[in-house]
């Protein structure tokens, strides 16, 4: 067992335990979108950044292993500023349709914005328009504008359902989640992606 601390609280975990898993075990919340305990680590949302003493840069808690004597802080002003920055980027093209979104009230993006954001948008340009209410198979609808590209659904289909039916296409601000051209969701496990979506992109 190794001993390290999060926010001054000393914890004892097995070697190889990531910071986010250790925090979860002891009831310490670290914001996240892409991380899920049953899926591989993607590290692409950058919401789980934490401050590690003697480390010059913030580190993703999902992909950083706890080490003996490590001192981790999850709620410094530097961390909160980083989370606000991530949220601001995610919300640049996110639609302002919370009142009609099926996930409203249970949306991680809403919750984190209320906890960390609460800023006025600096984005003056027009939002990028993407697909709305797209039928992607098996009764599942996809709203590409609501998708925050956490790739949970992509990894679930590949790793759990073992059926690569979803992917992330294009680049830059045009990047989007979709099924492969001419194909829809066929896997009997595909309805589970609605449950693991942290926002209202899949219904």
- For each of the chain's 203 residues, which pLDDT tens digit applies? 999 999 999 999 999 999 999 999 999 999 999 999 999 999 999 999 999 999 999 999 999 999 999 999 999 999 999 999 999 999 999 998 899 998 998 999 999 999 987 777 788 888 999 999 999 999 999 999 999 999 999 999 999 999 999 999 999 989 999 999 989 999 999 999 999 999 999 99
Separation CA 135–CA 142 (nearest Å): 6
Q: What does the pLDDT read at residue 18?
A: 97
120-to-75, 81, 177 alpha-carbon distances in Å: 22, 14, 28
Question: Beta strand 2-6 with 71-73: parallel, antiparallel or unpaired?
Answer: parallel
Q: What does the pLDDT read at residue 120?
A: 78
Q: What does the pLDDT read at residue 125?
A: 86
Separation CA 161–CA 89 (nearest Å): 31
């Amino acid at each position: 067992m190794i001993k390290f601390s999060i926010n001054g609280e000393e914890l004892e975990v097995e070697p190889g335990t990531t910071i986010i898993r250790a925090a979860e075990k002891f009831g310490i919340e670290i914001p996240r979108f892409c991380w899920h305990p049953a899926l591989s680590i993607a590290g692409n949302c950058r919401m789980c950044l934490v401050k590690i003493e003697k480390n010059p840069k913030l580190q993703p808690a999902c992909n950083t292993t706890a080490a003996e004597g490590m001192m981790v802080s999850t709620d410094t002003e530097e961390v909160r500023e980083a989370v606000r920055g991530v949220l601001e980027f995610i919300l640049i093209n996110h639609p302002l349709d919370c009142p009609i979104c099926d996930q409203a009230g249970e949306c991680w993006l809403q919750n984190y914005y209320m906890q960390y954001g609460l800023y006025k948008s600096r984005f003056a340009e027009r939002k990028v328009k993407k697909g709305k209410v797209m039928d992607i198979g098996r009764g599942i609808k996809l709203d590409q504008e609501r998708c925050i590209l956490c790739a949970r659904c992509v990894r679930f289909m590949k790793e759990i359902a073992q059926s690569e039916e979803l992917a992330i296409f294009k680049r830059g601000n045009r990047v989007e989640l979709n099924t492969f051209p001419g194909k829809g969701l066929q896997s009997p496990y595909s309805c589970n992606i609605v449950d693991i979506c942290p926002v209202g992109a899949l219904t």
